[in-house]
Chains A and B, each alone.
Chain A
Amino acid sequence: MVLLMAWVSGIVFGMGIILSGMVNPAIVLAFLDITGRWDSSLIWVMAGAVAVSSIAFAIAKKRKKNFLGGSMQIPSVTKIDARLIMGGIVFGVGWGIAGIWPGPALVLVGSGSVEAIIFLIAMLLGMGIFEVNQQKPS
């Protein structure tokens, strides 16, 4: 049941990404390009998503266990540190170059896009480099 719900959630998430237009890097780049032909889509997507999920988070806050009896794993970190800021900058530059972020990348891979497969391999490599750096004693 846990796996089925995670799987269905993935499918719904992906279909949301396709319907919203966020699967198309051109639309995302058009949002980010404020001096060009600006496209407001991303704001509407965020508004729609936050409207539903904020209700879910309000429910989750009042519960110790999830609907299937497992634990609620909501991040408790609140510190705004250099790592968060640097990560945001590095991600922002990468996002700005191609207009692709991790969610749409996976959906695009499902559509058989060669460009997305190249992006995904590089993305996994980037995550791998991060993990290797993490394990080094600093």
Chain B
Amino acid sequence: MYINYLDVIPWHAMVGGLGIGSAVAMLLLFNGRIAGISGIIGGLFRLQRGDISWRIAFISGLVLSVVMWNFFFVFPEIRIETSHIMLLLAGLLVGYGTRLGSGCTSGHGVCGLSRGSPRSFTATAIFILTAVVTVYLVRHVVAN
């Protein structure tokens, strides 16, 4: 295993994490809600009365965060090298999988681990492990 110490900026990652945690804390303490992104989006498919507007408010904040960011900082240059077909496949799997497993990185990963839920520990371990295996297969087996 080669560890690239130069490109790793744990400080940014750590402070970014604190920001994510603060957002989770806000939504939990003021709205009484779990900040699980897949759950918040997924709930929109159910169209329950009185349960829609806060979801749209949160999602629009998330999308508009880039605008706010650009007021103060420069948005990083991001190159997505995955082909369009693979992006479609990835999106379908992420959409279906997160709903089936009731959560993604935020719901199970951050919120679940924070409240010590064994269910979320299991889910997080499974999706990280599966993703590691997938990346290995895509990058080092299929690509060769």
Taking beta carbons and an 8 Å cutoff, which residues of A are in contact with B? 1-26, 29-30, 32-42, 44-57, 59-61, 65-68, 70-75, 77-80, 83-103, 105-111, 113, 115-116, 118-131
Q: Are A3 and B57 in contact (CB under 8 A)?
A: yes
Closest-by-CB residue of A relative to B82 is: A98
Q: Is the interface of B mostly helix, strand, loop or mixed?
A: helix
Number of residues from B at the complex interface, CB < 8 A: 110
B100-144 contacts to A, CB under 8 A, are 100-106, 108-111, 113-115, 117-119, 122-124, 126-136, 138-140
The distance from the CB of B50 to the nearest CB of chain A, in whole angstroms, is 10
Instruction: Give the contacting residue for B114; candidates A3, A25, A50, A96; CB below 8 A.
Output: A50
Sampled A-B contacts (12; CB under 8 Å): A9-B24, A10-B64, A26-B78, A32-B128, A46-B109, A74-B34, A87-B100, A92-B97, A107-B62, A126-B92, A126-B95, A126-B97
Q: How far is the CA of A136 from the CA of B45 in the complex (A)?
A: 15
Provide the residues of chain B in CB contact with A107, threshold 8 Å. 62-63, 65-66
Q: How far is the CA of A63 from the CA of B71 in the complex (A)?
A: 37
Which residues on the A side are within 8 Å of B58 (C-beta)? 6-7, 9-10, 13
The one of B21, B101, B104 in contact with A51, judged by C-beta atoms closer than 8 angstroms, is B21
Q: Say whether B115 contacts A57, CB under 8 Å.
A: yes
A5:B82 contact, CB within 8 angstroms: no
Q: Are B65 and A18 in contact (CB under 8 A)?
A: yes
**Interface on chain A toward B: helix, strand, loop, or mixed SS?**
helix
- Assembly CA distance A22 to B79 (angstroms): 13
Given A21-B13, A78-B119, A93-B97, 12 further pairs, Cβ under 8 A: A2-B54, A9-B27, A17-B16, A18-B16, A49-B110, A50-B17, A67-B29, A72-B28, A73-B34, A80-B119, A88-B122, A97-B82
A88, B127: Cβ atoms closer than 8 Å: yes
What is the bound-complex CA distance between A72 and B94, given in angstroms? 27
Task: Please give me the residue from chain B that is nearest to A41 by CB atom.
Answer: B13
Contact between B10 and A52, CB atoms less than 8 A apart: no
User: Which residues does chain A contribute within 8 Å of B27, judged by CB atoms?
Assistant: 5-6, 9
- Inter-chain contact B131/A93, CB cutoff 8 Å: yes
Say yes or no: A118-B66 contact (C-beta < 8 A), given A13-B23, A46-B17, A53-B114.
no
Interface centre among A84, A92, A99, A109 (most CB of B within 10 A): A92
Determine whether the beta carbon of A110 is less than 8 Å from that of B67.
yes
In the complex, what distance in Å separates the CA atom of A6 from the CA atom of B44?
15
Q: Counting chain B CB atoms within 10 Å of each CB, which of A39, A56, A102, A106 scores highest? A: A102
